Amino acid sequence: MMLKGTVHKYGINVDTDAIIPARYLNVSEPEELALHCMEDIDIDFVKRVKPGDIIVADTNFGCGSSREHAPLAIKAAKVSCVIAKSFARIFFRNAINIGLPLLESEDAVNNTENGDVLEVDLSKGEIKNLTRNKIFIAKPYPDFMMKIIEAGGLVNYTRKSIVK
Amino acid sequence: MTLAEKILAAHSGKKKVSPGEFINVKVDLVLANDITAPISIREFGKLGARKVFDPKKIVMVPDHFCPNKDIASAEQAKIMRDFAHEHDLVYFEVGQMGIEHVLLPEQGLALPGEVIIGADSHTCTYGALGAFSTGMGSTDIAMAMATGEIWMKVPSSIKFIYRGKLGKWVGGKDLILHTIGDIGVDGALYSAMVFSGETIDALPMDGRFTMSNMAIEAGGKAGVFAYDKTTEKYLKGRAKHPCIVYKADDDAEYIRTIEYDVSTLEPQVSFPHLPSNAKPVSKVGNISIDQSVIGSCTNGRLDDLRLAAKVIKGRKINSRVRCIVIPGTQQVYMDALHEGLIEIFITAGAVVSTPTCGPCLGGYMGILAAGERCISTTNRNFVGRMGSTKSEIYLANPAVAAASAVTGRITGPEEICK
């Protein structure tokens, strides 16, 4: 799967309250959540973001609350993937489960600036910074997780195995 | 094996598990609330599942925006309520409900040796009882509701050893804020935090819940305590079903061991906007406050209210401060009433709310305006967590929150309780 988009870069410890503030959790429709994505740390994100764009962040992205509304908001904002040095573990699970690809690469984060254009080959874990003409390799996924991503999330992946 | 590894091995049908290994785990209890359950229910439907794996092992609690704060919240809560009734799940209606992580142990539903998962990050609270419990998202919970199983990566364990007798106003909240201040908000990422040492042996159950509760604020997957006399006493007459107690092997492997001498530890205050910005209360300086929140899944238990009442008794809440006390459950509320604590709060000029997560996550019942500051016994002080992105939250124990409510600025209880 190939992804391409412009980078929106953030710092360390971007928490899920920043990704989707709790005051909007009285709804659970992804499209409604997307209207407020990143609002408390980047009020113009929703206006700037274009389909395929990529969020790049430092360490511990998605820390805090377990709200699945956070990756749902990012995905519904049409962000194609998130690249960070590390992810908080609940956010990591949630994103994979709903089919939002995440990539871990310290080098890619260190060598990418806001507004750069990246191209990501998900199956190879290859991140190409087209603006700076550099290539990085993300930490590989375990096999079963790659299958979940390819299926578009955990529900699609497991639907067949559920006894009806 | 560590305690976490022992429990996970037993629940995955293996003799031994090692950190980093991916395993399928049978779960003993599955939890969701009014915010996370609606998504779980939607995904459960998409899975094509018709029945839950065991209705007695799935608990739903309307606590975040309940009693319903607005029409949209009412709709979410109704989705959960209808599903819970349809599938005959364990459900606590307003009137019986409380803040989930105070409620489940109190009701004897969370027990030692169990694997418990919940669509709420503070599900790690039950590690205080020697359970392996951890927070997940709604889709994971949907899977677990359908199959009774979930995949997990076996976490490595970090051992924390606390030595020394705690000061009068120092408790579990201060130990965990100090620890997070030391290791950082991702200092225990993906790991199980193991709390041990002579200080822990002497720590009451409510202080242990507070510590396990905030393991997630260091990125931890779990925060566990060994089962001991304190656990045994707490569970007596409370446990709703039998359980198996596991114990770490003497030669268990920990990726790190961190020791603290806490004999001189002061009450801690975590500054905006991270729980890791912890300072001793004597180093805080002159910081005026507009609101003091005493409650939450972190500090809404009876011991917490007793501590706050001890400070507030015979004093008045500062006329420029809104002091909001939120008992964690109806039982905590009733016990506090019988002990005369509620009267102390109301006489002093504090408001006492029905149990709810309310202000902790900026839901309702105490939202902050721009420029306002709040001292709070809750667990997170992220930007905008309790309201305006221009407001500030300082985390502390109930005695500090109570003393600050009296003086109108962040204050250690020693200053006013001479």
CB contact under 8 A, B120 and A66: yes
| Chain A residues with at least one Cβ partner in B under 8 Å | 13, 15, 17-18, 21-23, 25-28, 40-41, 59-60, 63-69, 71-72, 86, 88-90, 93-94, 97-98, 142, 144, 153-155, 158-159, 162, 164
Q: What is the DSSP string of B343-408?
A: HHHHHHT-EEPPS--GGGGTSSSSPBPTT-EEEESSS---TTTTB-TT-EEEE--HHHHHHHHHHS
- Pick from B186, B191, B386 the residue to mutate for testing the A interface (most A CBs within 10 Å): B186
pLDDT tier for residue A160 given thresholds of 50, 70 and 90: low
Q: Residue count of chain A, please give it.
A: 164
Q: How do the domains of chain B map onto residue ranges? A: 3-238+252-259, 270-413
pLDDT in tens, B257-298: 999 999 999 999 999 999 999 999 999 999 999 999 999 999
Q: What is the mean pLDDT of chain A?
A: 94
What is residue A163's predicted lDDT score, i.e. its pLDDT?
46
Interface test with chain B among A14, A33, A68, by most B beta carbons within 10 Å = A68
CB B26 within 8 A of CB B149: yes
Residue A140: the pLDDT is: 87
Q: What angle do CA A111, A116, A119 make, to 5 degrees?
A: 90
Closest CB from A26, A68, A155 relative to B47? A155
pLDDT interval class at B140 (50, 70, 90): very high
Confidence of residue A149 (pLDDT cuts 50, 70, 90): confident
Bridge partner residues of B368 (DSSP): B387
Quick one: pLDDT band at residue A161, thresholds 50, 70, 90? Answer: low
B369 touches chain A (CB under 8 A): no
Is residue B76 over pLDDT 60? yes
Write down the mean pLDDT value for chain B.
98
Mean pLDDT, to the nearest integer, of B119-134? 98
Instruction: For chain B, give the percent of residues with pLDDT over 90.
Output: 99
Structure tokens, B68: 């319903």
What the block records as the tokens of B166 is: 């705690």
Confidence check: pLDDT of B330 > 50: yes
Mean pLDDT of B401-408: 98
- B48:A159 CB<8 A: yes
* pLDDT computed for residue B83 by the predictor: 98
Whether chain A has a CB inside 8 Å of the CB on B72: the answer is yes
Q: pLDDT at residue B238 above 60?
A: yes
CA neighbor of A140 nearest in space, from A108, A104, A107, A114: A104
Per-residue model confidence as pLDDT tens digits over A30-64: 999 999 999 999 999 999 999 999 999 999 999 99
B67 preceded by a cis bond (ω within 30 of 0): yes
Distance separating alpha carbons of residues B106 and B206, to the nearest angstrom: 11
If residue A159 lies in a helix (H) or strand (E), which one and from where to where? Answer: none
Q: Which member of B69, B75, B139 has the closest CB to residue A97? A: B139
Residue A99 backbone class (left: φ over 0; alpha: ψ -120 to 50; beta: rest) = left
3-state SS of chain B: helix, strand, coil percent to 5?
Answer: 35, 20, 45
Fold that domain B270-413 belongs to in CATH: Aconitase; domain 3 (3.30.499)
Helix (H) or strand (E) run with residue B203 in it: none
* Rg (alpha carbons) of chain B, rounded to whole number: 20
A60–B383 C-beta distance less than 8 A: no
Q: Which residues contact B347 (CB under 8 A, 6 or more apart)?
A: none
* Contact criterion met (CB < 8 Å) for B189 and A88: yes
Classify B3-238+252-259 by CATH class. Answer: alpha beta
pLDDT at A164 over 50: no
State the residue for tokens 């040492």: B197
**Minimal C-alpha gap between A132 and chain B (Å):** 30
CA torsion through residues B64, B389, B138, B378, sign: negative
State how far the Cα of B127 lies from the Cα of A91, in Å rounded to an integer: 21
Instruction: Give the pLDDT of residue A146.
Output: 87
Is B270-413 in the same CATH topology as B3-238+252-259?
A: yes
Query: Which pLDDT value is given to residue A1?
Result: 83
Average pLDDT of A60-85? 98
Residues in chain A with CB shorter than 8 Å from the CB of B47 are 155, 158-159, 162
- Residue A162: pLDDT band with limits 50, 70, 90: low
Structure tokens at B257: 């061991």
Reduced to 3 states (helix: H, G, I; strand: E, B; else coil), residue B321 is coil
- Rounded to an integer, what distance in angstroms lies between the CA atom of residue B122 and that of residue B232? 23
Give the closest-approach CA distance of B124 to chain A in angstroms: 11
Local structure of B133: helix, strand or coil: strand
Average confidence (pLDDT) over B210-238: 98
Asked if A26's CB is within 8 angstroms of B383's CB, the reply is no
Buried b (16+ CB within 10 A) or exposed e, A56-76: bbbbbbbbbbbbbbbbbbbbb
Q: In chain A, which residues have their Cβ closer than 8 Å to the Cβ of B123?
A: 66
Is the omega angle on the peptide bond into residue B413 within 30 degrees of 0, that is, cis? no
Q: How far is B253 from B248, CA to CA, in rounded Å?
A: 10
Coil, strand or helix at B266 = coil
Kindly state the helix (H) or strand (E) to which residue A126 belongs, with its residue range.
strand A126-129
Contact A13 B363 (CB under 8 A): no
Check: CB of residue B180 under 8 Å from CB of residue B63. no
Which residue among A22, A40, A72 sits closest to B361, beta carbon to beta carbon?
A22
Q: Which helix (H) or strand (E) holds A35?
A: none
> Is the separation of the CB atoms in B10 and B244 below 8 Å?
yes
Q: Which two tokens stand for residue B278?
A: 């912890």
State the DSSP string of A14-34: -BHHHHS-GGGTT---HHHHH
In a 3-state reduction of DSSP, which class is residue A50?
coil
Residue A35, pLDDT score: 98
pLDDT greater than 50 at residue B388: yes
At B229 the pLDDT is 98
Residue B360's Cα: distance from chain center in Å? 11
Give A6's strand partners.
A117
